[in-house]
């Protein structure tokens, strides 16, 4: 798509858009290198890798849904190596306590005083493995850190080191011994990404990579300061008012489907919140950046719409009984709402 800056729907100047595009192209080349480096270890998950990079650039968190054994731990470790940041894996279990994640105060005999012992949340990339296996009070312990990028321990507040990413996983096929994530918790995730099984050809490559004597290690591509620069620049990418109206229409249609001639009244029980609109724009900007553009187009919105909205729509019991998924509903909305 060629940006027609003479059209009234694009109110910014040619020079400004050109400047933003040139910077985006510079970052896009770096991200392309990062993707190639990730593919040394992560085979056949190009879309997942791209979406996680989108979440990092837009400074959001990710909820991954997949069956065990699809390299989620390897993925975040590889990402951490590429971005030169510290990472940690926390296995969520029914007996986990908030202090096991955040930290606590411990008494030191030699100093006759209490000292703060920080928990594993004080890392840049945090893999919350099987988050739905921990009770709600533990899940809620992540709320402050995810939203405010800070942790409170016994009345003292500590800022988390940036960049900070929580990548939580849950198993969609096993419900025994699990606790459903509270809606407030789910809404904190910018994206919900579904990971599917690899193809037969990709599985052969996976077998080859994991049965050789030499370990394949990803090289460092970016420094943490460069990630922060990219996150700051992402907010500057141009999104025209017509794009904002498009996003607002998509989200509003989940609450008022009749206004858009969508037969969803008995399908959607609760629509998406304004946070969905914000993340649609933020992640669409990141998608534009990855594609080397300094401006958002409707295709950027469509690229991230399912991942942003699928966990923010609550369907009725009747819809679930009829095996209607949120992805099907989002398809209906995107087909109905005219793109600019």
What is the 3 state secondary structure string of 17-66? Answer: HHHHHHHHHHHHHHHHHHHHHHCCCCCCCHHHHHHHHHHHHCCCCEEEEC
Say if residue 255 is in the same domain as residue 324.
yes
Sequence-separated (6 or more) residues with CB below 8 Å from residue 10: 3, 4, 17, 240, 295
Both 78 and 167 in one domain: the answer is yes
Report strand pairing: 156-159 vs 165-170: unpaired
Q: Among residues 189, 224, 259, which one ends one of the domains?
A: 224
Q: Are residues 88 and 131 in the same domain?
A: yes
Establish if 270 belongs to a structural domain.
yes
Give the best-scoring range by mean pLDDT among 146-155, 177-186, 262-271, 291-300.
Answer: 291-300
Domain-embedded: residue 21: yes
* 43-101 confidence digits (pLDDT tens): 888 899 999 999 999 999 999 988 777 778 888 888 888 999 999 999 888 899 989 99
Q: Is the residue at 62 inside a domain?
A: yes
- Give the tokens for residue 110: 């030699």
Q: Based on the domain organization, do 175 and 212 belong to the same domain?
A: yes
Domain stop point among 191, 224, 257: 224
Domain presence at residue 333: yes
Task: Tell me the pLDDT tens digit for each residue of 86-141.
Answer: 999 998 888 999 899 999 888 887 877 788 889 999 999 999 988 888 888 888 88
Residues 190 and 141 in one domain: yes
Residue 1 predicted with pLDDT over 60: no
Answer with the residue of higher pLDDT: 2 or 52.
Answer: 52
What is the pLDDT at residue 6?
Answer: 42
Same domain as 157, residue 135: yes
Same structural domain for residues 138 and 282? no
- 122 and 15 in a common domain: no
Confidence (pLDDT) at 248: 97
pLDDT at 340: 85
| Alpha-carbon separation of residue 137 from 89, 119, 267 (angstroms) | 19, 16, 31
Q: What integer pLDDT is reported at residue 142 of this predicted model? A: 82
Same domain, 245 and 160: no
The CA distance from 274 to 60, in Å, is 15
- Tell which residue, 257, 273, 253, 276, has the closest CA to residue 265: 257
Indicate if 17 and 1 belong to the same structural domain.
Answer: yes
CATH of the domain at 174: 3.40.50.300
Question: Per the structure block, which two tokens stand in for 301?
Answer: 């919105």
Inside any domain, residue 162? yes
Print the domain residue range for 23. Answer: 1-38+237-340
68/165 same-domain check: yes
Q: What percent of the chain has pLDDT over 70?
A: 94
In a domain, 229, yes or no: no
Model pLDDT, residue 26: 95
**Domain total for the chain?**
2
pLDDT at 28: 95
Q: Final residue of a domain: which of 168, 202, 224?
A: 224
Beta bridge partners of 129: 91
For the residues of 146-173, what is the DSSP string, one character each? HHHSEEEETTEEEEPPSS-EEEEEE-SS
Q: What is the CATH number for 340?
A: 1.10.8.80
Residue 231 lies in a domain: no
If asked whether residues 309 and 272 sit together in one domain, one would say yes
Residue 251 has pLDDT above 50, yes or no: yes
């Amino acid at each position: 798509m060629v940006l027609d800056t003479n059209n009234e729907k694009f109110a910014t100047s040619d020079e400004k858009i050109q400047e933003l595009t040139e910077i985006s192209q510079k970052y896009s080349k770096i991200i392309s290198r990062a993707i190639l480096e990730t593919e040394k270890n992560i085979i056949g998950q190009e879309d997942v890798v791209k979406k996680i990079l989108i979440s990092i650039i837009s400074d959001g968190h990710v909820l991954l849904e997949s069956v065990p054994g699809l390299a989620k731990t390897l993925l975040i470790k590889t990402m951490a190596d590429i971005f030169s940041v510290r990472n940690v894996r926390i296995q969520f279990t029914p007996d986990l306590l908030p202090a096991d994640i955040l930290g606590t105060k411990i008494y030191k005999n030699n100093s006759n005083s209490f000292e703060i012992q920080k928990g594993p949340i004080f890392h840049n990339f945090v893999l919350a493995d099987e988050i739905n296996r921990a009770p709600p009070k533990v899940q809620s312990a992540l709320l402050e850190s995810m939203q405010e990028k800070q942790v409170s321990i016994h009345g003292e507040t500590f800022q988390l080191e940036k960049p900070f990413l929580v990548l939580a996983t849950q198993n969609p096929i096993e419900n025994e011994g699990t606790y459903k994530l509270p809606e407030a918790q789910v809404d904190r995730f910018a994206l919900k990404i579904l990971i599917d099984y690899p193809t037969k050809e990709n599985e052969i490559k996976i077998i080859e990579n994991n049965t050789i004597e030499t370990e394949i290690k990803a090289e460092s591509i970016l420094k943490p300061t460069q990630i922060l620069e990219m996150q700051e620049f992402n907010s500057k990418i141009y999104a025209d008012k017509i794009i904002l109206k498009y996003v607002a229409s998509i989200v509003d249609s989940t609450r008022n489907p009749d206004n858009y001639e969508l037969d969803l009244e008995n399908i959607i029980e609760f629509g998406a919140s304004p946070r969905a609109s914000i993340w649609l724009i933020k992640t669409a900007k990141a998608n534009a950046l990855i594609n080397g553009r300094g401006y958002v187009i409707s295709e950027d919105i469509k690229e991230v719409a399912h991942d942003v909205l699928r966990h923010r729509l609550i369907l009725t019991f009747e819809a679930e009984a009829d095996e209607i998924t949120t992805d099907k509903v989002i398809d209906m909305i995107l087909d109905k709402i005219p793109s600019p």
